[in-house]
Chains A and B, each alone.
Chain A
């Protein structure tokens, strides 16, 4: 099965480990930036393909922190907010300028829902993001979507403060598989 692991997931694993071990690794941006991926679960893979210097506008770190890798959603919704569209427009511009990266868009839900429904809801969110990026000119062939439902919350409390962070999409980049 391991040979089927897309390279993207290796990078996801890097993000996940970073999120777990050292939330401040990406600088003063704090725990949030770049740590929204759902990975860290895929065995012992540690891909050393770097996130790069956040001051380098072509680096993954720059994308995660400065452009913003995630979009938040209202309760039980997959429609994009104005703020979400703004972030995604930035993502689209960046992706067009850095065409060597492939993209996996993760959709996530908060824990208030059944497992199956939340998988479907996360898929709707990921698709909404993908469709918006396509509308902004990012080639569909560079992107894939995956839903984690409620399996990978980033915040663990059971109040709206956490739920609002968990209802998210995360745009995860991987090098070398791009168009």
Chain B
């Protein structure tokens, strides 16, 4: 992944998002969305085509379209189509004419300008709170290569989303997943990465051996996954830039799977199976040092670190059915956190640390759900024949997962849903897809 660095204007980042929020938080007016309460009536906004300040061509329009798609895709915002716009924005620095936007009930307006010179592109934007008649936060400017134009649109959308919701953004992020093809009994699987919205797919492996459940490193530069390249499941580390791979924790006669990085990226927690029994282990990537964390005849798998690195949530069938447990990162017995009826698996700690997402099986249905880390306030967000494997958006407000349909023609696809349970959406992918894992927000 050749990630181009963005030159963000000095003016811009000096103005923190927290500072930018002040006007919106102070008012009780329209430009404020509380995500946790869910939104029944999405906030109407407008994104006129950006102004071409030189050589911008299609970018001026395409960038506005991606921004609008990002915001609309959250379900929290509703775009007012261009045909309804009264005002025309022909200059980035002139006043936007609030009355014209009020007349069509646009509560937020994003204006911008694009300059392209060679393969360099510069994108500027401003966000306006129409009903209070003022700009919301400072204007920002992003610069990079034209190849990264979608990322710049995502950055603009992230900034607007943050200023209006008070939450971190998540649009400028990637998702690693398993691309699937072929019939159900002969499925071909390969690793791929894409933008969070399904664009810019790149394949990381061929489909010569089964690959499962990839996970991004905290800095997004490496991927852990389970590969059958040796003929046996092995946790494998890939450098995303070079695509070089390395098998980890190789021990004759064992099977390793379900790896995840520690929050500092230096260690891997995973399941190691020996003689039919799966336990949790920790591997120090640098030294190769291996530490056993659980020692029980039951199945211990699907471990996930707390964001501060001090604890691990995992699933175990020690009680007779799959349930969720939390133990210190150094290992130990763990305390059970899932208490409802049914079976609980694949727990994932939210990046904010406040919740755990999981897969639940109950009465023949699968659900994606969330609960507090003490097991309280369990909430099921989805229900289907087969939903599994949640992954958190970088802001901890959206979850992506695998949904598989039943029967001989059953296929897997990626879906996302708000933690409020609203806004269930399928992520467009070329073919069938499974096992998504969200990257952190890109720098």
Contacts from A to B (Cβ < 8 Å): 1, 4-6, 8-9, 16, 20, 40-43, 78, 111-117, 119-121, 123-128, 130-131, 144-148, 151-158
> Do A113 and B361 contact each other (CB < 8 Å), given the known contacts A6-B231, A120-B299?
yes
Tell me how far the C-beta of A42 lies from the nearest C-beta in chain B, rounded to whole angstroms.
6
Residue of chain B at shortest CB distance from A143? B253
Contact B273 A114 (CB under 8 A): no
Tell me how far the C-beta of B284 lies from the nearest C-beta in chain A, rounded to whole angstroms.
22
> Do A43 and B345 contact each other (CB < 8 Å), given the known contacts A9-B231, A116-B258, A127-B275?
no
Tell me how far the C-beta of B250 lies from the nearest C-beta in chain A, rounded to whole angstroms.
10
Query: Is B229's CB within 8 Å of the partner chain A?
Result: yes
CA distance A78 to B213 in the complex (A): 24
* Residues from chain B with Cβ under 8 Å of A125 in the complex: 276
Contact B233 A119 (CB under 8 A): yes
16 extra interchain contacts, Cβ-Cβ under 8 A, other than A127-B276, A151-B212? A78-B276, A114-B322, A114-B359, A114-B361, A115-B213, A117-B299, A120-B273, A123-B277, A125-B276, A128-B276, A130-B276, A151-B187, A152-B187, A153-B185, A156-B183, A156-B407
Contact B184 A145 (CB under 8 A): no
> Do A116 and B301 contact each other (CB < 8 Å), given the known contacts A41-B188, A152-B185?
yes
Stretch at the interface among B30-38, B373-381, B385-393, B425-433: B385-393
Contact B410 A158 (CB under 8 A): yes
Report, nearest first, the 6 A-B pairs whose CB atoms are least far apart.
Answer: A127-B276, A158-B406, A114-B345, A120-B299, A120-B278, A156-B408
* Residues from chain A with Cβ under 8 Å of B407 in the complex: 156-158
Query: Is B435's CB within 8 Å of the partner chain A?
Result: yes
Tell me how far the C-beta of A103 lies from the nearest C-beta in chain B, rounded to whole angstroms.
13
A-B contact pairs, 27 of them (CB 8 A): A1-B230, A4-B229, A4-B230, A8-B231, A41-B188, A42-B209, A114-B345, A114-B359, A115-B212, A115-B213, A115-B388, A116-B213, A116-B302, A116-B315, A116-B345, A117-B299, A117-B345, A119-B271, A119-B301, A123-B278, A146-B231, A146-B233, A147-B273, A151-B212, A156-B183, A157-B408, A158-B385
Tell me how far the C-beta of A174 lies from the nearest C-beta in chain B, rounded to whole angstroms.
11
Contact B212 A146 (CB under 8 A): no
Query: Is B194's CB within 8 Å of the partner chain A?
Result: no
| Binary contact readout B226-263 vs A (1 if CB under 8 angstroms, 0 otherwise) | 00111111000000000000000000010101100000
Tell me how far the C-beta of A109 lies from the nearest C-beta in chain B, rounded to whole angstroms.
12
Tell me how far the C-beta of B17 lies from the nearest C-beta in chain A, rounded to whole angstroms.
37
CA distance A12 to B253 in the complex (A): 18
CA distance A120 to B280 in the complex (A): 12
Query: Is B94's CB within 8 Å of the partner chain A?
Result: no
CA distance A81 to B9 in the complex (A): 70
> Do A124 and B185 contact each other (CB < 8 Å), given the known contacts A114-B345, A114-B346, A114-B359?
no
* Residues from chain A with Cβ under 8 Å of B231 in the complex: 4-6, 8-9, 42, 146
CA distance A148 to B188 in the complex (A): 14
Contact B208 A147 (CB under 8 A): no
* Residues from chain B with Cβ under 8 Å of A43 in the complex: 208
Contact A123 B255 (CB under 8 A): yes
| Binary contact readout B287-310 vs A (1 if CB under 8 angstroms, 0 otherwise) | 000000000000101100000000
CA distance A16 to B210 in the complex (A): 14
CA distance A14 to B369 in the complex (A): 42
Contact B185 A120 (CB under 8 A): no
> Do A154 and B208 contact each other (CB < 8 Å), given the known contacts A114-B359, A117-B315?
no
Contact A116 B271 (CB under 8 A): yes
Tell me how far the C-beta of A100 lies from the nearest C-beta in chain B, rounded to whole angstroms.
20
Contact A115 B435 (CB under 8 A): yes
CA distance A1 to B244 in the complex (A): 12
CA distance A115 to B271 in the complex (A): 13
Task: Among B209, B210, B301, B388, point to the contact of A120 (Cβ < 8 A).
Answer: B301
* Residues from chain A with Cβ under 8 Å of B232 in the complex: 144, 146
CA distance A4 to B209 in the complex (A): 13
Contact A144 B388 (CB under 8 A): no
Contact B210 A154 (CB under 8 A): no
Residue of chain A at shortest CB distance from B230? A4
Contact B302 A114 (CB under 8 A): yes
* Residues from chain B with Cβ under 8 Å of A117 in the complex: 299, 301-302, 315, 317, 322, 345
Query: Is B186's CB within 8 Å of the partner chain A?
Result: yes
Tell me how far the C-beta of A157 lies from the nearest C-beta in chain B, rounded to whole angstroms.
6
> Do A156 and B184 contact each other (CB < 8 Å), given the known contacts A114-B302, A114-B388, A123-B278?
yes
